[in-house]
């Protein structure tokens, strides 16, 4: 059969239309450049700029701003020290304006802010490798609309099905919950959940599993721009009619949908739930509300919220709430396979988790505790997902 040839010349022609011209205009420079020694070079062409810097999360904690210097071709540059394997985010500061790097198109949104991203990885054993898309079998990722009778609306969630899912066996399910300001896109974008699972499964470190990432804002059907409220400014102040705590009450709507539409293990031992910050609070609540439905729990930097604040500590509130105490007694009495708490030692929710652990310890409730460095940031939540996922369904 004779082949039709698209010549490169023709392709170049199609690229040169006036209306499309700018789309194809390569940046004058390459940026960011992840060097073999783990240093990263940023380049920005701006001959007339007075002051250029790059600002990013290059340190373990907080942002760092590095001044860039201009060469005689008008290119501003700076090279970082060697960075640890990680997914980093940054932007440029140009004469007082925050600018995304025009030489890259890889951007994450965190609540209201867009930032350029890049990944440093040295070898297969490091974190950066886990966050990259590697030459391994990939799971599918779907945006799925389900009905929530509890919240009385159709709602959108993200569902990861592992490679090989179409081959017929039944799979366990991890329900993965985001924090305040997030949505059903947060874990798959900022959290690199699909990449982490693809890579862990390929390495034999995690069981093949579905990962279900719902929208934890009970007021919203979907992420900003993905439902009928239009292109509103993201953030939890944007849409409010219901307290966030109503979300966990709708959790079984999600489980029922997933169990009736996917090849799942429709039993406790086939279900895990975890979440970060507000989603850690939701995980805490799911445990109380549905104590025998999930066998694995992960509270990541959890907001252990309890009613009846008024200056009382989380510990006092837990002890003062007979309903919650009874619910937790049922939960821990049913011996879940794993109840785990994960937090960084600089997390602003650290004390709440100290209080909760004190309560659990006094009642003799069994749990795992994982403490690491750092605060309330995605860098930690990706680590927790990586480690938690390896503990499941084995």
Footprint of a second copy on 305-334 (CB under 8 A): 305-307, 309, 321, 323-324
In 3D space, the residue among 309, 252, 305 whose CA is nearest the CA of residue 279 turns out to be 305
**Tokens coding 351:** 């004390």
Given 40, 75, 103, 213, the residue binding a second copy (CB under 8 A): 103
Does 252 interact with a second copy (rule: CB under 8 A)?
no
CA atoms of 209 and 201, how far apart (whole Å):
9
CB of 114 to a second copy, least distance (A): 6
Output the smallest distance, CB 382 to a second copy, in A.
15
Task: Please identify, using beta-carbon distances, which residue of 33 and 337 lies nearer to a second copy.
Answer: 33
> Per CB under 8 A, which of residues 339..358 are in contact with a second copy?
348-349
Measured between alpha carbons, how far is 170 from 360 in angstroms, rounded to an integer? 34
SS3 140: strand
Contact indicator for 45, 75 with CB cutoff of 8 Å: yes
Residue 20 touching a second copy (CB under 8 A): yes
Interface segment toward a second copy; rule CB under 8 A; list 7-15, 263-271, 331-339, 354-362: 7-15
User: Among the candidate windows 57-65, 70-78, 207-215, 332-340, which touches a second copy by CB under 8 A?
Assistant: 57-65
| One character per residue 265-294, x = contact with a second copy (rule: CB under 8 A) | ------------xx--x---x--xx-----
| CB-nearer residue toward a second copy: 207 or 301 | 301
Preceding peptide of 32 cis, ω within 30°: yes
Size of the site for a second copy (CB under 8 A): 111
> Is residue 226 part of the contact set for a second copy (CB under 8 A)?
yes
CB of 391 to a second copy, least distance (A): 26
**Tokens 């949908």 sit at which residue?**
257
List the structure tokens of 113.
């802010």
Stretch of 67-75, 200-208, 302-310, 333-341 lying at the interface with a second copy (CB under 8 A) = 302-310
**What distance in Å separates the CA atoms of residue 120 and residue 39, rounded to the nearest whole number?**
9
Adjacent-strand bridge partners of 171? 264
Counting Cα atoms < 13 Å in the Cβ hemisphere of 357 gives: 18
Judged by CB under 8 A, the stretch of 65-73, 133-141, 202-210, 291-299 that binds a second copy is 133-141
- Report the nearest approach of a second copy to the CB of residue 394 (Å): 25
Q: What is the C-alpha separation between 28 and 147, in angstroms, rounded?
A: 49
Q: What's the token pair of residue 340?
A: 């785990």
Binding string, 71-100, against a second copy, x = CB under 8 A? -----------------------xxxxxxx
Long-range contacts of 279-285 (CB under 8 A, 24+ apart): 279/176, 279/177, 279/178, 279/179, 279/182, 279/216, 280/177, 280/179, 280/304, 281/244, 281/245, 281/305, 282/177, 282/216, 282/244, 282/247, 282/248, 282/251, 283/177, 284/356, 285/245, 285/248
Give the residue with the Cβ less far from a second copy, 172 or 248.
248
Q: Which of 64, 71, 149, 225 binds a second copy (CB under 8 A)?
A: 225
User: Of 69 and 323, which has the nearer Cβ to a second copy?
Assistant: 323
Choose which of 75, 86, 131, 138 interacts with a second copy (CB under 8 A).
138
């Amino acid at each position: 059969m004779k082949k039709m040839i698209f010549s490169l010349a023709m392709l170049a022609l199609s690229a040169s239309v006036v209306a499309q011209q700018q789309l194809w205009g390569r940046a004058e420079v390459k940026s960011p450049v992840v060097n073999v020694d783990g240093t990263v070079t940023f380049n920005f062409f701006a001959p007339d700029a007075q002051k250029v810097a790059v600002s990013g999360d290059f340190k373990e904690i907080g942002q760092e701003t590095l001044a860039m210097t201009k060469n005689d071709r008008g290119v501003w540059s700076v090279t970082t020290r060697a960075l640890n394997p990680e997914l980093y985010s940054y932007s440029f500061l140009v004469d007082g304006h925050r600018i995304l790097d025009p030489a890259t198109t890889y951007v994450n949104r965190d609540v209201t802010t867009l930032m350029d991203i890049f990944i440093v990885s040295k070898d297969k054993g490091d974190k950066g490798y886990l966050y990259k898309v590697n030459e391994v079998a990939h799971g599918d990722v779907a945006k799925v609309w389900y009905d929530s009778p509890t919240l009385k609306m159709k709602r959108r969630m993200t569902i990861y099905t592992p490679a090989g899912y179409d081959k017929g066996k039944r799979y366990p399910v991890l329900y993965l919950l985001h924090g305040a300001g997030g949505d059903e896109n947060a874990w798959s974008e900022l959290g690199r959940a699909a990449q982490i699972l693809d890579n862990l499964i390929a390495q034999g470190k995690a069981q093949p599993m579905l990962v279900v990432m719902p929208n934890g804002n009970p007021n919203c059907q979907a992420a900003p721009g993905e439902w009928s409220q239009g292109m509103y400014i993201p953030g939890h102040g944007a849409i409010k009619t219901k307290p966030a705590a109503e979300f966990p009450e709708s959790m079984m709507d999600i489980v029922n949908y997933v169990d009736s539409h996917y090849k799942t293990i429709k039993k406790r031992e086939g279900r895990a739930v975890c979440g970060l910050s507000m989603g850690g609070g939701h995980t805490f609540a799911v445990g109380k509300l549905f104590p025998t439905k999930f066998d694995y729990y992960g509270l990541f930097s959890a907001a252990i919220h309890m009613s009846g604040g008024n200056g009382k500590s989380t510990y006092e509130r837990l002890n003062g709430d007979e309903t919650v105490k009874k619910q937790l007694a049922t939960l821990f009495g049913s011996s879940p396979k794993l109840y785990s708490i994960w937090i960084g030692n600089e997390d602003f929710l650290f004390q709440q988790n100290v209080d909760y652990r004190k309560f659990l310890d006094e009642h003799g409730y069994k749990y795992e505790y994982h403490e690491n460095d750092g605060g309330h940031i995605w860098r930690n939540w990706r680590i927790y997902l990586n480690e938690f996922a390896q503990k499941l369904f084995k």
